[in-house]
Chain A
Amino acid sequence: MGHPRRRFVELPGEADLRLDPRETLRILTGFVQSEVRRAGFERVVVGLSGGLDSSVAAYVAVEALGAAGVVGVLMPYRTSRLDSVRDAERVVAALGLVAEKIDITPVVDAFRASLERPGRRRLGNVMSRVRMTILYDRSMAHHALVLGTSNKTELLLGYGTLHGDLASAVNPLGDLYKTQIRQLAAYLGVPRAIRDKTPTADLWPGQSDEAELGVSYERLDRMLALLVDARVSERTLLREGYPRALVRRIVRMIVRSQYKRRLPVIAKLSTRSVGWDFRYPRDWRS
């Protein structure tokens, strides 16, 4: 996959992916403190995969709530990469977190036994939802909220499991593209091994985000920022040298995954319906 023929001479400001990491961290810590405390909590649980996003989410949460305010939960499956657990434990040690390790193999394999040839994608979704179920259980046990770790790149493409890794109470990372999370990770001092590794959902051996998506995160984020944040037309993207097939595919992914970004659609039958004209903020009276 080559580079676009020409680089942007004038990148629209809205598509500028560079962050001021210090100020961004101030916003995120304030956000986590405010959203957690106004809901009546002091603590969050976060699923630690050993990957970049959950590591950064844990660092941000510790910045906001202190180490005592963050419970890390490691949920490996028997096929999980060895370095996933190792890197998650590295985050636990670096931050001094309370952590729990819960092997999801028996639960997932029980599902597997009761399903007829689920295939790796369905099984991947099962894993993701088993982890969600455990996280929500741990959140109740610890009187804590589930911290979300989905980034903007994933949310826009629908590259996540509905009611699985997409589920959370509070998500500090959802408006940061993957490449922006890398900038934040460097500022936070997330261990190099985690920052440098190949991004993967690790739902089956050898899985890789960039191989599945067919494009590097650098390129993908630049396209998304132009399309979404700067409202640049597809035609301009083509003129800037992005291949037609890639642009088409990205746009289709954004459109087709809209349902993952919304609550279920409700048939309207009354004067005031949930989702339409019962309009209260989430932070209603809190």
Chain B
Amino acid sequence: MRNVRVALAQIAPRLGDVRYNLDLHLRTAERARRERAQVLVFPELSLTGYVLRDQVPEVAQRLEGPVLERLRRACRRLDIVLGLVEEGPGHRFYNAAVYLADGAVRHVHRKVYLPTYGMFDEGRDFAAGDRVRIFQAGFGAAGILICEDAWHPALPWLLAQQGAEVLFVLSSGPTRGARPGRGVTSVAVWHDLLRVTAQFQTAWVVYVNRVGYEDGLNFGGGSSVMDPFGRAHATLSSLDPDFVVAELDGEILRRARTAYPLLRDEDLELVARELARIRALRYELPGEVDAAAQGVARGAPHESQPAAKVKRAVQDRRRGDR
């Protein structure tokens, strides 16, 4: 991985006002260029704001549409990562992030895990993405995750297994107030999560969270860069708009992967085998359940669950279905 200067744009988008937000993006891109950034990262749904509800189809953009066209023209000599509502095939609306480089859309990530609990209702408004892929940027291999995606450890793991050296995490993370010793609650929790993510995947993590207020929600900010040792670089303030350019050093990545060769030692075959077995049992896949149960029988002597027991459990479940 080559060294790369990344700008974190901790902005407060205006809810539902794409024209205003587009202008804010273009102005911020000017600043990033002035400060010699090579990549500029905005938060989740940076082009639209978050509490959209029935505005989702009204603010949705096609990747070949005029708004993206203006942004693509702005990304000469500066790569831009931003969040938007993407209108995909079949008029499906995705909470998506795009990586723009050299006047083109280099990569699209569609949010996989749409939180629909507590104060979140994304499953009602968006279609869920169904893939997690890396892409090649000028500095090396990278992947994008959107907010809740980062709370499902399989996703950063899958990106790292594909070779991602930098993970961009775009977020619209609301807070739940402030407690003594922790400050704004969700910011501290996010930093814990991302530090661990960076360390476990031995990758750089670039986290950009928005600020501002929508319908009483307040978004926490606290954008940050975590190095592959899990150390925070360049953490931004909570709650207020902020901006910083941080240099991601390729040598730090190399040192971390030398000192902690977790990726080298990963046993993909084992994970694939166990996953296939779990999947067969979980979904009672025809023809595969018995094989999965036998897989347990063939397992090591210390295997805790005997095959007969598993088989019985599967049979019980089948009977329960009728």
Instruction: Report B179-232 residues with CB < 8 Å from chain A CB.
Output: 179-184, 212-216, 218
B213 and A30 contacting across the interface, CB-CB below 8 Å: yes
Contact-residue size bin, chain A (C-beta under 8 Å from the other chain): 20 to 34
Least distance between A62 CB and chain B CB atoms (Å): 19
Least distance between B201 CB and chain A CB atoms (Å): 27
Q: A19-B180, A27-B184 are in contact. Are A280 and B54 (CB under 8 A)?
A: yes
The residue in chain A whose Cβ has the minimal distance to the Cβ of B125 is A279
Q: Interface readout for A10-54 with B: 1 if CB under 8 Å, 0 if not?
A: 000000101110111011001100110000000000000000000
A175–B176 Cα distance when bound, in Å, is 10
Residues of A contacting B308 in the complex (Cβ-Cβ under 8 angstroms) = none
B183 and A283 contacting across the interface, CB-CB below 8 Å: no
Q: A23-B178, A23-B184, A24-B177 are in contact. Are A34 and B54 (CB under 8 A)?
A: no
Residues of B contacting A27 in the complex (Cβ-Cβ under 8 angstroms) = 175, 177-178, 184, 218, 239
A285 and B16 contacting across the interface, CB-CB below 8 Å: yes
Least distance between A243 CB and chain B CB atoms (Å): 29
Least distance between A277 CB and chain B CB atoms (Å): 8
Cβ of A286 under 8 Å from chain B = yes
B55 and A283 contacting across the interface, CB-CB below 8 Å: no
A278 and B177 contacting across the interface, CB-CB below 8 Å: no
Q: A34-B213, A35-B213 are in contact. Are A284 and B178 (CB under 8 A)?
A: no
A19 and B53 contacting across the interface, CB-CB below 8 Å: no
Residues of A contacting B184 in the complex (Cβ-Cβ under 8 angstroms) = 20, 23, 27
The residue in chain B whose Cβ has the minimal distance to the Cβ of A32 is B213
Residues of B contacting A119 in the complex (Cβ-Cβ under 8 angstroms) = none
Contact partner of A281 among B17, B52, B179, B181, CB < 8 A?
B52
Instruction: Report B17-63 residues with CB < 8 Å from chain A CB.
Output: 17, 51-55
A23 and B238 contacting across the interface, CB-CB below 8 Å: yes
Residues of A contacting B214 in the complex (Cβ-Cβ under 8 angstroms) = 281, 283
A279–B218 Cα distance when bound, in Å, is 20
Inter-chain residue pair count (beta carbon < 8 A): 69
The residue in chain A whose Cβ has the minimal distance to the Cβ of B187 is A23
Tally of contact residues, B, Cβ under 8 A: 25
Contact partner of B178 among A19, A34, A278, CB < 8 A?
A19
Least distance between B47 CB and chain A CB atoms (Å): 15
A278 and B54 contacting across the interface, CB-CB below 8 Å: yes
The residue in chain B whose Cβ has the minimal distance to the Cβ of A183 is B180
Cβ of B15 under 8 Å from chain A = yes
Q: Interface readout for A243-286 with B: 1 if CB under 8 Å, 0 if not?
A: 00000000000000000000000000000000000111111111
Least distance between B153 CB and chain A CB atoms (Å): 22
Residues of B contacting A285 in the complex (Cβ-Cβ under 8 angstroms) = 15-17
A283 and B15 contacting across the interface, CB-CB below 8 Å: yes
Q: A16-B179, A23-B183 are in contact. Are A284 and B16 (CB under 8 A)?
A: yes
A18 and B239 contacting across the interface, CB-CB below 8 Å: no
B179 and A18 contacting across the interface, CB-CB below 8 Å: yes
Q: A27-B175, A27-B178 are in contact. Are A279 and B53 (CB under 8 A)?
A: yes
B180 and A20 contacting across the interface, CB-CB below 8 Å: yes
B15 and A30 contacting across the interface, CB-CB below 8 Å: no
Least distance between B178 CB and chain A CB atoms (Å): 3
The residue in chain B whose Cβ has the minimal distance to the Cβ of A34 is B213
The residue in chain A whose Cβ has the minimal distance to the Cβ of B237 is A26
Q: A31-B216, A281-B53, A281-B215 are in contact. Are A20 and B183 (CB under 8 A)?
A: yes
Q: What are 15 A-B contacts defined by CB distance under 8 Å?
A: A16-B179, A18-B180, A19-B177, A20-B180, A20-B182, A27-B184, A30-B213, A35-B216, A175-B216, A279-B54, A280-B53, A280-B55, A281-B53, A283-B213, A283-B214
Known: A22-B178, A24-B177, A284-B16. 7 other contacts (CB 8 A): A16-B179, A20-B182, A23-B178, A27-B218, A31-B218, A281-B215, A283-B214
10 A-B pairs closest in CB distance:
A23-B178, A20-B178, A34-B213, A279-B53, A281-B51, A279-B54, A281-B215, A24-B178, A20-B180, A27-B218
